[in-house]
Chains A and B, each alone.
Chain A
Amino acid sequence: MRIEYLLYGYGAVCVSMIFFNLFHTLALRRMDRRIGRESGALKRKIHLQLAQIKDGGQVDLRHLKELKRRLVRVNQVITLERVLAELETEATFAQECYLNAIRPVLDCCAAAYRQKEVTQAAYYAYFLNRRRGGTISVGDGLMTVLLDYLKRDSLYCRVNAMNVLYAYGDAACVFQAVCELDRLDGFPHGKLLTEGLLSFQGDHEKLIALFFRSLGGFSELTQVAVLNYIRFQSGERCAEMLALMTDENKGKEIRPAAIRYFGKYHYPPARDILLQFLQDPTELCWENAAVSATSLAGYQGEEVTKALLNSLNSPNWHIRSNAASSLNDHSLSYEQLRHIMTGKDRYAREMMLYAMEARQLQREERVEV
């Protein structure tokens, strides 16, 4: 075989790639222009419908049929999204009526996008979140469709579908979706679930109650993400958190998540348990002890101060550091700190000194860059 033919072949493919890139760019520009033109046409049609509504009429069935036919193509969904975004600036009663009228069409198309390429399904979920409006409940057709979106093998499709559910604010639907995601090992990072749940627009207490009812059934990653969500959202769950914190059968990550809760919300019955964690001499439990050292910052009392002072001599760096930081919040006198500052444990002294310096820095005024 002559080597130059192989190179000719490769070169030809590379030239085609350059042309492909050029054509692709031109095609995208053309598509943008086309979407612009179509937006104009669609906008005129929608304005006609709005005028009809203002005159006491209804949205034409023919218009709805046309929308249904158009929206099976993702470019048309992008066009509609642009038009609705423009109209959004002047929200009127007529527009609300129009959106209510097209909602069944949007739901119908949502079902069609289940079968489409996953990036398109993800876009449709994004579109629904922004434009559908209305409500949703367990058992609705759209809920079934969104559950199917969650089953697609794409993080974005899942995140966008969940965003729809968070926006509708139905606790039961969100709970059902989280169960489904957990079953599918849906989210690779707990932060996605925690932040998503925090954006939930409905009754958080109702959602939290649902989670507590079946928390043990979730994977550890989901449980921690849910507990973090509860910590940021509600201070009303101290009793449940206390039960989790004291349950020795709970996973390694779950107990520290519960301990953190009592750092944010002070709950006197938790104090003694936090002290127990802090004073636990076993090496295996150092994470619980370190988190407890931080959580105890908000709990006053001689016993707490003494335990934190003792923890400054802990062989574990994290425990010492957190204890020093918490002691700072207790506003101790020099007399109380004297045995640390003049003692033989240099590590404890340095840690305490730095905690005090850091506090001093925090007091300084923030300046803009």
Chain B
Amino acid sequence: MRDAFQVFFNWVNGFYILYMIGYATFLFLSVAVGSAVLNAIKRRNYLKNELENTYYVPVSILVPAHNEGITVVDTIRSLLALDYKLYEIIVVDDGSTDNTAEILRETFRMTQVNRPIQRRVESQQIIAVYETLAYKVPITLIRKKNGGKADALNMGINASKYPYFLCMDADSILQKDSLEKIVRPVLEDGRVVAVGGAVRLCNGVEMSDGKVVRYPMPKSILASMQVLEYDRSFLASRILLDQFNGTIIISGAFGLFKKSTVINAGGYDTKTMGEDMELVVRLHVYCRENKIPYRIHYATDAVCWTQAPEKLTDLMKQRRRWHIGLFQSMIRHRHILGNPKYGKVSFVSYLYFLFYELLSPYIEVFGVATMVLACALRFLNVPFMLLFYFIYVIYSSILSLTAFFARLQTVDMKLSGKDILKTLSLCALEVTFFHFVMAWIRMGSLLNYKKKKNTWGRIERKKIHYS
């Protein structure tokens, strides 16, 4: 019996060594490439290798809103303050039960119109359309029957006038220069069909006239740990994947798309919770199947500020939704796996998301359970395990810090000494505690999947400090 356990543990050991080498290598490459690219961009901008703000590609900004009465007005105000000339704002009220539509109509003095909307992609029935031309750019509010975020975005695509659309969340705020920056890759490369922007957490941040005035670390520890997590994710892995056109996720909070390509690919999938990732994977498939030269780009300097949940229950809802969305997207496009037609998208991006995102909570929890079993059967070299765990914590903390400081340095943001100390202490806590809590939450997200797959879960919103 003991021999059988020995064989089992040897296999587990081998698997985890390979798994960890793969993960450590990916993270290492991500952070190294991310830092190098950010420094190169900074130098490029310093030497005026940039397009002046005089080229305007027309963009429709789509804001799907469901019960966002608290934040939606600030969001629209931030959009009106954008340093850009040629755009329109389309808010799609997806069957809100709060005062989202009323507050918008009253604040922006909107008039009901009988606007015909061409149904180019699937979406629910319209209840009413309101417009105003009284501001810098036209604002349209479409009230429709509830159909989910993807459905609301599809309605926005149908109503949009311009060849590119930008999707964002109703609880997010764009910096003054964000639109200009996210459009730039379209001007720089004619093949670009989608551009993802950097999403940062605005908890504790103060903004005025579309610019960040104060940028302290959030007071909430949970939100602070998410800041570190976002930096690692947005600044590191996405830059690496971008180097070989391997981006397979553009956050629904901030992404620019070429409308004609999205319509031809079928628009947003209304049956998935991860409509943002699903669309990007589908664009890869559509362009490759039809031999269309394409590029999906990540713009590191285009910034959108969004709220991080500060309550653990809200965070759990959010991560559960993300994990189910990831699962749905990966299952739907499973034919990509190991298919040489999709090149690095298949062999790097898809594999990474499969092993280190989708399956990682199960692998991690299985690892912990095996360790407990090994300890009980006295197979475990405890001093070595502790050393290994210590190395893991130091290594992961260094990676988080590298990503965090690389971002701060390249965007010329300043933190107080207190915040730096907070960051240093939190990064260890993030990799030892937060990471495993997240693994546990994500592992549980697929339980009762069939029952929960279409429920969104409400996350508490707070007013954003925007003036």
Contacts and interface: CB of A to CB of B under 8 A. Distances in A.
B48 A13 contact: no
A123 B402 contact: no
Nearest to A185: B190
B398 A11 contact: yes
Given A126-B47, A199-B54, 11 more contacts: A8-B391, A14-B398, A18-B401, A18-B405, A156-B48, A189-B55, A189-B57, A191-B55, A191-B57, A353-B114, A362-B133
A189 B190 contact: yes
Given A192-B55, A369-B136, A25 B395 contact: no
A6 B24 CA distance: 9
A346 to B, nearest CB: 9
Interface in B340-375: none
Interface in A77-132: 119-120, 122-123, 126
Interface string B1-36: 000000000000000010011001100100110010
A156 B77 contact: no
Contact of B47 (A22, A120, A191): A120
Contact of B118 (A18, A20, A25, A317): A317
A23 to B, nearest CB: 11
B133 A122 contact: no
Contact of B32 (A4, A13, A155): A13
B81 interface: yes
B49 interface: yes
A351 interface: yes
Chain B CB within 10 Å, residue with most, of A14, A159, A365: A14
Contacts of B57: 189, 191
A123 B28 contact: no
A233 to B, nearest CB: 16
Given A7-B395, A155-B188, A369 B81 contact: yes
Given A24-B39, A366-B133, A188 B47 contact: no
B49 A10 contact: no
A361 B132 contact: yes
Contacts of A126: 47-48
Contacts of B111: 357, 361
A7 B32 contact: no
Interface in B180-201: 186-191
B35 A21 contact: yes
A366 B24 contact: no
Contacts of A24: 39, 409
Interface of B: 17, 20-21, 24-25, 28, 31-32, 35, 39, 43-44, 47-51, 54-57, 77, 80-81, 109, 111, 113-116, 118, 131-136, 186-191, 387-388, 391-392, 394-395, 398-399, 401-402, 405-406, 409
A362 B43 CA distance: 45
Taking residues whose C-beta sits less than 8 angstroms from the other chain, chain A's interface range is 35 or more
Nearest to B39: A24
B398 to A, nearest CB: 4
B9 to A, nearest CB: 16
A227 to B, nearest CB: 18
Nearest to A190: B190
A350 interface: yes
Nearest to B40: A119
A61 interface: no
5 contacts: A11-B391, A14-B399, A24-B39, A188-B188, A366-B134
A3 interface: yes
A357 B392 CA distance: 64
Contacts of B132: 361
Contacts of B398: 11, 14-15, 18
